[in-house]
Amino acid sequence: MTGARDKPSYRVVQWATGTIGSRTLRAAVEHPRLDVVGVFAHSPAKRGRDAGELCGLPPLGVRATTELDDVLRLEPDCVLYTPRELDADTVCALLAAGTNVVATRTDFHHPAAMDQSLRRRVEAACEQGGASIHSTGSSPGFVTEALPLVLASLQRRLDALLIEEFADLSRRDSPGLLFDVMGFGGRDESFDDGRLSALRASFGPSLRLVADTLGLAVEQAEVYGEFARTPRRTAVAAGVLEAGTVAAQRVTVAWTRAGRAVLRFRATWYCTTELDRSWDLRDTGWRLTVDGDAPLDVAVRFPVAAENAAAVYPSYTANRAVNAVPPVCEAPSGIRTTADLPQVVPVLG
């Protein structure tokens, strides 16, 4: 009998070594079918450093580079692409050279939702190199695509799907993120349009992929947010929330038909459960509610102690991407979606 470990292995390069990148790098090193042959780092300070040092492992004999040409000379089968910003020229150069790409960025979840000039460039590069590219992660990705499609396999009629994400940030010691970026502790009355647009761009295409795959007719995407405030002065790990300031936020991205929500993603972030309004707050994790002829209410909780969150949470995104490398390498060329690929099955050990 031929087992998963008897199948071909793939030469992999890690592109970027931030929080997610260092985790995908480590997971790729430990994957029995992947051979890490290179690392790209944006920071000149990381040039020449050993890959093991960059991900908390013993030396691997693989040195980081800051040059695209060095990566191309390695002729890798796949690049794990995890930078903060998309460099379309780099992605197209990799694909045209025959290197498959698995990205944790949200740019390639659904080709029809992409900027069409970018789509044409990427598809041309895929055709030239005979390579594939796939966007994935935990959210969007697993919880907005893979899991809904599995749950939908029990349905013959699906009237609505609600995907909820909960994050208890009370123990998150990141004042810059919570106060400066997310606006906790402030007195805003509405969400910034730029932030709502970014969330629409991240989650809208992923939800639309599910709708199109299942044959659900939807008409337009809506995004909106709301706040809840703390009635009293509250101390959290990141600092202090004064009475009457933002202590919880909820953002919804919805695809509608005839004014009714068909597919929704709703993220609820909170720093305390003592709020000036009633919200159904749950432990950090996900909840999926399926309204169909086989109704479902599925809760997925992250059983991680607050002190271990920073060490564990990146794995939810990184592991999905690493496990997707073999099926992406084996897929036909082009922009491959969750619906195009076979089920992503990990090879453990």
pLDDT one-digit tens code per residue, 104-121? 999 999 999 999 999 999
Cα–Cα distance for residue pair 128/252, rounded to 1 Å: 39
pLDDT at 81 over 70: yes
Bridge pairing between strands 10-15 and 34-40: parallel
Residue 342: inside a domain, yes or no? no
Q: Model confidence at 6, in pLDDT bands (50, 70, 90)?
A: low
CATH number at residue 85: 3.40.50.720
Both 218 and 271 in a single domain? yes
Q: 49: helix, coil or strand?
A: coil
Residues 19 and 119 in one domain: yes
Give the CATH number of the domain where residue 197 resides.
3.30.360
Confidence at residue 54, expressed as pLDDT on a 0 to 100 scale: 96
Query: What is the distance between the alpha carbons of residues 248 and 234, in angstroms, rounded to a whole number?
Result: 12
Statement to judge: residues 122 and 154 lie in one domain: no
Q: What is the percent of the chain where pLDDT is above 70?
A: 98
- Rounded alpha-carbon distances, angstroms, from residue 261 to 66, 189, 216, 221, 226: 46, 24, 12, 9, 17
> What pLDDT, on the 0 to 100 scale, is given for residue 1?
42
pLDDT band with cut points at 50, 70 and 90 for residue 349: confident
Whether residue 96 is found in the same domain as residue 243: no
Mean pLDDT over 246-272 rounds to 96
Which of 231, 297, 240, 230 shows the shortest CA–CA distance to 270?
A: 230
More confident residue, 142 or 193: 142
- pLDDT over 60 (residue 3): no
pLDDT tens, position by position, 282-339: 999 999 999 999 999 999 999 998 888 889 999 999 999 999 999 999 999 999 999 9
- Looking at residue 188, its pLDDT comes to 84
Does residue 56 register a pLDDT over 80?
yes
Q: What percent of the chain has pLDDT over 90?
A: 91
Q: 343 in a domain, yes or no?
A: no
Q: How many structural domains comprise the chain?
A: 2
Quick check: 208 and 255 in contact, CB under 8 A? yes
pLDDT at 335: 98
Assess whether 182 and 40 both reside in one domain.
no
Between residues 181 and 146, the one the model is more confident about: 146
Look at residue 269 and tell me whether its pLDDT is greater than 60: yes
Does the structure show a pLDDT above 90 at 192? no
Q: Is the pLDDT of residue 232 over 70?
A: yes
Q: Decide if 349 is inside a domain.
A: no
pLDDT of residue 306: 81
Asked if pLDDT for residue 2 goes beyond 80, the answer is no
344: helix, strand or coil: coil
- Which pLDDT value is given to residue 4? 58
Please give the C-alpha separations between residue 209 and each of 20, 106, 113, 265, 340, in angstroms, as whole numbers.
Answer: 24, 13, 9, 13, 11
Number of residues assigned to the chain: 349
Least confident span in 130-134, 149-153, 302-306? 302-306
Are residues 99 and 152 located together in one domain of the fold? no
Instruction: Specify if 242 maps to a domain.
Output: yes
Structural domain range at position 290: 142-306
pTM of the model: 0.93
Task: Name 305's Cβ contacts closer than 8 Å, sequence gap at least 6.
Answer: none
Min mean pLDDT across 2-6, 51-55, 67-71, 280-284 is at 2-6
Say whether both 282 and 169 belong to one domain: yes
**Mean of the pLDDT values across residues 61-72?**
98
